[in-house]
Structure 1
Amino acid sequence: MPVNQNDPRVKRTRQLLIQSFMELLEHKKNIYSISVQDITDRATVNRATFYAHFEDKYAFLECWMKEKFQRKLAETLPNSSISNMSSLRTLILTIFEFLALTRQYMIRTPENSQYEPLFEIAMQKELYQLLLKWLIEESNGSVSRELVESTALVISWGILGTAVQWSRNPQNRRAEDMVRDVLVIVAAGLAPVMA
């Protein structure tokens, strides 16, 4: 039986599970070494409760990454909007910094590399929704909805893909330098929708 996501008890339990995971993460420093049993033991709930809220560990980790990313965006873009190139630059820098920060918990080995695409897709969905909302507001119906959606899709993957590649080897180039270059390219990609 599916749980009601709006039920306060459901929200509290999900938050308890996520908080327990975060506490474990502080000790173990590696998301892959934390099991569902570790999370439920720390949260003092049974495994059935975990599986009532999440299909599996993948779904849990996707939810965790999505919430963590949403919180970071809310901190740096308090009104959850992009109003100009300055706020777009802030958004891009936030993504680079977020990936650099979370990369420390993702020790890349063949066994755990299966989680990376999951995290990337969760972040891309959030980024796409934010860009789509902004572009719809900025275009004022002057271009087709399809072009706006395609632009948001391409730009979201472009920003995220660049940030992911950079986060794998951040010592090669400063984030600020990468962000400056990405912003130039993103601005050019936005031109047909923003004109």
Structure 2
Amino acid sequence: MPVNPDDPRVKRTRQLLMQSFMELLEQKKNIYSISVQDIATRATVNRATFYAHFEDKFAFLECWMREKFQTILKKRLPDLSISDMGSLRTLIQTVFDFLVRFRQYLNPGDRQFEPLFEIAMQKELYQLLLKWLREESNAPVSQEMVEATALVVSWGIFGSAVQWSRSPQNRTVEAMVEDVLKVVAAGLAPVMI
């Protein structure tokens, strides 16, 4: 039976599972070697409880990554709102910074999870941009155009950050963020007139 994500007990259990996972990671275990049983045992719940909340370890990891990314975004962008080019710059900078820090914590055995984490982050970025564009778009364009713009811009920001984070020594983060901001601003122009 599906759990109600708004139920306070569900929230507490999920938080306990996330906290247990973080504690296991801090013990220098890699993501690959942490099992569902390890997480459940550390959280003092049984495996059935874990599976009542998450389909499998991959669903758990996607949720974990989304929550980590949301937490950082909320710290840098209160109310997760984008109101001007300054906040758009902050969003782009946050994506770049998050990916660089994230890569530092991946062990070679954890590289298999990289696409899962990247997709989770890109989805969050897309949802944030889509919400903003729906609220702020002044141009007489269709919802499909707004959705396409959010998709292209989110992948543009995210793809640039992923590529740069793989070899950051080639350019400074500040230079990359400024260039990406210029391109993103041009991409947003049709829906933000």
Contact 1:29 1:105 in 2 (8 A): no
Spell out structure 1 runs of 4+ moving beyond 6 A: none
1:60 partnered with 2:22: no
Q: Report deviation, 1:115.
A: 1.7
**Where does the alignment leave 5 or more consecutive residues of structure 2 unmatched?**
none
1:74 partnered with 2:74: yes
Cα deviation per residue 1:112-163 (whole Å; 9 max; x = unaligned)? 4332221112111111111111112221362211111100000001111111
Q: Report deviation, 1:171.
A: 2.4
How do residues 23-38 of structure 1 correspond to structure 2 at under 5 angstroms? 23-28=23-28, 30-38=30-38
Q: Report deviation, 1:17.
A: 0.3
**Where does the alignment leave 5 or more consecutive residues of structure 1 unmatched?**
none
Distance 1:69 1:51, change over 3 A: same
Measured in 2, the distance between the counterparts of 1:54 and 1:62 equals 10
SS at match of 2:105: coil
Paired residue type of 1:129:
Q
Paired residue type of 2:116:
L
Measured in 2, the distance between the counterparts of 1:29 and 1:94 equals 26
How do residues 173-188 of structure 1 correspond to structure 2 at under 5 angstroms? 173-188=171-186
1:165 partnered with 2:166: no
Contact 1:31 1:105 in 2 (8 A): no
Contact 2:93 2:177 in 1 (8 A): yes
Measured in 2, the distance between the counterparts of 1:116 and 1:158 equals 18
Which shifted more, 126-135 or 32-41?
Answer: 32-41
Q: Report deviation, 1:29.
A: 5.5
TM-score normalised by the chain length of structure 1: 0.93
Measured in 2, the distance between the counterparts of 1:51 and 1:147 equals 38
Measured in 2, the distance between the counterparts of 1:179 and 1:31 equals 30
Contact 1:32 1:106 in 2 (8 A): no
CA root-mean-square deviation? 1.4
Cα deviation per residue 1:91-124 (whole Å; 9 max; x = unaligned)? 0000011111111222345xx4332221112111
